[in-house]
Amino acid sequence: MALLETRSLTAFYGDFQALFGVDMALAEGQTVAIIGANGAGKTTLMRSIAGVLKNAADQIRFDGRPVGDLAAPDVLALGVAMVPEGRKLFPSLSVEENLLIGRYGRAVDGFWSLDAIYEMFPILKERRHNPGTALSGGQQQMVAIGRALMSNPRVLLCDELSLGLAPVVIKDIYAAFPKIRGSGASIVIVEQDIGQALKVADHVYCMMEGRITLSGKPSDISRDQIHAAYFGAHA
């Protein structure tokens, strides 16, 4: 049984339909990547799973129970935490205070603590008293990841981790993923960097115009197939 799955998931912004019958599954301990061009529906999918957008209850299931109609705090309490696109740190709070915010919605003891976050991202310990928004973009992304991990989630949703970051910074951030997986978290990554997504994922879904157009293991999918699914061209 999948730990997390969507079943014929639809999503709307007012009268505008953004998702059309999306089926996705995440197994315990797995990393899944969602790739696609801007406007493909990737962030809408993540927001739906996280409870930011409400759906029909049975369209999203977590650990066997329908959760599509739950609000974001209730989804977090179950163990699904999100690293949002744009990081969304609290500008008036220090790095450490931003990290501690992650404990408020789900104060569950587990692998992740301030010490564990600082061990993974040492620069955050050095700058723990600085305002979170005074950091570089890459360091802010580390804070956003750490904040989500502080809830010791069973599922970590990561929306556009590499957006706007230098390649060397992206490499540093993704170097932390083996440790995150080792903590027991299952991971869903939304990523425009196809190469990076294929490196870390056990399974890849490609989206275009609100639909899944390709699904499979990275080793079973060719670049031509990805190009066709990504842009709607013929492979």
141-172: pLDDT as tens digits:
999 999 999 999 999 999 988 888 888 888 88
Contacts 24+ apart (CB under 8 A), 52-56: 53/11, 55/9, 55/10, 55/11, 56/10
Identify the pLDDT of residue 233. 58
Q: Is 205 exposed, middle or buried (0-12, 13-18, 19+ CB in 10 A)?
A: buried
Confidence check: pLDDT of 1 > 80: no
Confidence check: pLDDT of 234 > 60: no
User: Each residue of 31-78: pLDDT tens digit?
Assistant: 999 998 888 999 999 999 999 998 888 999 999 999 999 999 999 999
Confidence check: pLDDT of 235 > 70: no
Residue 60, beta-bridge partner list: 6
Of the pLDDT bands very low, low, confident and very high (cuts 50, 70, 90), residue 228 is confident
Rounded CA-CA distance 120/116 in Å is 6
Please give the average per-residue pLDDT across 19-39, as a whole number.
Answer: 94
- The domain tally of the chain equals 1
Q: Which structural domain, as residue segments, surrounds residue 80?
A: 4-231
Residue 127's Cβ-side half-sphere holds a number of Cα atoms within 13 Å equal to 18
Residue 75: which CATH number? 3.40.50.300
Please give the average per-residue pLDDT across 89-118, as a whole number.
Answer: 89
- Angle (nearest 5°) at CA 47 between 46 and 52: 155
* Ranges of H-type helices in the chain: 42-50, 72-78, 95-101, 114-120, 122-126, 137-149, 167-174, 177-182, 194-200, 223-231
Listed range (10-19, 104-113, 172-181) with the worst mean pLDDT: 104-113
Of the pLDDT bands very low, low, confident and very high (cuts 50, 70, 90), residue 96 is very high
Confidence check: pLDDT of 183 > 80: yes
Confidence check: pLDDT of 28 > 70: yes
